Amino acid sequence: MRKRYPIFLLLLVVVGLIGVNILLQDDSLNGDQNNGETNDQINRILPSRESKIPVNKTKMSPERDNNPPKSYSEEYLDPIPVPGKVNTAGGEDSAFIMPDGETLYFFFTPDVAQPVENQVQDQVTGIYVSTNQGGIWGEPTRVLLQDHGKLALDGCAFIHGDIIYFCSAREGYSGLHWFRAELINGTWCNWDIADPELKTDEYSTGELHISGNELYFHSDRPGGKGLLDIWGSVKADGEWGEPTNIAIVNSEGNEGWPCISEDASELWFSKDYGVWRSKRVNGEWGEPEKMFWPLAGEPSIDRIGNVYFTHHFFQDDVMIEADIYVAYKKPP
């Protein structure tokens, strides 16, 4: 599982994790998670996101942005930061919006300049969730997917029904793997490794999206057209089949971070520091079109077509912050 697309924050996190072995010795950790404590109880004793952001960091704003993302489509308004309490002076990344547009998952780390070995121990880096409250996103809470007191660095969340899939480096495992957990009584629990189900132990796999019996992901596995390509797999008889290259959307460069619209008619992905879209006609994906650019990536779409993605702020060619943006679809 390797990502080599330098603009995305989560890439920087997970690529580093592949070579980090600060964890990884106890293979008997899949027991009762959180020692019987609920996520709410543990969240109350964890530090806040803001408490870990360096005191000298100033929140970036669209007014100070040298490279604001713009819409390249007549269908969409220009993107804006999601309103409410999601974005901070730290790094928010890897958004996943639920189809109803009311629940937003994302990755957070307080200081994008910190090395991975610091992030994994800072008690706040990981997956968060926020709910929409009258058009404003409320205070996010940590999504805890590891045994309380054990190290883990979780990201790239994708929710499929009552299952959350996520990538993680954690105690008991060497390197980076895909995991899953199930939602029971409002809490994600019973995490377990998902590589055998997804067959991600057989080839390098980046962020993924499942739509019905179709699985889409990016990978630098052999047989592609470029560095990172988008691949698809179809489930038959309960098993994912051999992946095929989605050739029409791929190039000699990087294409990745795919997501599918709820009706499975649109494939959204990251390419050339922007967000692109391919439409499916008569069962075939069409030529992609640039939708939002620059410094836009990792899209996620709700059922009415609003697109959530990551935007990065740069100063002097150095990334200093990442926020979650939304591009609202214009009324028909």
- What would the DSSP string read from start to end of 161-224? TTEEEEEEEETTSSS-EEEEEEEETTEEEEEEE-HHHHTTTSS---SEEEETTEEEEEE--TT-
Percent of the chain at pLDDT > 90 equals 76
Quote the pLDDT of residue 46.
Answer: 85
Tokens of 21: 């072995």
Position with higher pLDDT, 126 vs 15? 126
- Give the pLDDT confidence score for residue 42 in this predicted structure: 65
Please write the tens of the pLDDT for every residue from 316-331: 889 999 999 999 999 9
Q: How far apart are CA 264 and CA 303, in angstroms?
A: 10
Give the pLDDT band (50/70/90) at residue 85: very high
Task: Count Cβ atoms within 10 A of the Cβ of residue 182 and give its class: 0-12 exposed, 13-18 middle, 19 or more buried.
Answer: middle
pLDDT digits (tens, 9 = 90+) for 211-243: 999 999 999 999 999 899 999 999 999 999 999
Cα(1)–Cα(206) distance, integer angstroms: 6
Confidence at 43, pLDDT banded by 50, 70, 90: low
If residue 155 lies in a helix (H) or strand (E), which one and from where to where? strand 152-160
72: exposed, middle or buried (Cβ count in 10 Å: 0-12, 13-18, 19+): middle
Q: Is the pLDDT of residue 133 over 90?
A: yes
Domain boundaries in the chain?
9-25+35-327
35 band by pLDDT with thresholds 50, 70 and 90: very low
DSSP code per residue over 96-126: EE-TTSSEEEEEEES-TTS-HHHHTTSS--E
Task: Give the mean model confidence (pLDDT) for residues 2-11.
Answer: 36
Cα–Cα dist 148/129, whole Å: 19
| Model confidence at 14: pLDDT above 50 | no
Q: How sure is the predictor about 5, in pLDDT bands with cuts at 50, 70 and 90? A: very low
In this predicted structure, the answer to whether residue 23 has a pLDDT above a threshold of 70 is: no
Q: What is the mean pLDDT of residues 45-74?
A: 95
Q: Which two tokens stand for residue 89?
A: 């002076």
Mean pLDDT of all residues in 117-127: 92
Among the residue ranges 10-24, 36-50, 52-66, 290-304, the one predicted with the least confidence is 10-24
pLDDT of residue 2: 34
The pLDDT score that the predictor gives to residue 265 is 97
- The confidence band for 38, taking pLDDT boundaries of 50, 70 and 90, is low
The reported pLDDT for the residue numbered 25 is 36
Over range 14-37, report the average pLDDT.
39
Torsion of CA 91, 15, 79, 111, to 10 degrees: 10
pLDDT > 90? residue 9 = no
Does 131 or 148 have the greater pLDDT score?
131
Q: Which residues contact 58 (CB under 8 A, 6 or more apart)?
A: 89
Contact, 27 vs 56, CB < 8 A? no
Query: pTM of the full predicted structure?
Result: 0.89
CA 218, 221, 227 angle in degrees (round to 5)?
70
Q: Is 9-25+35-327 CATH 2.120.10? A: yes
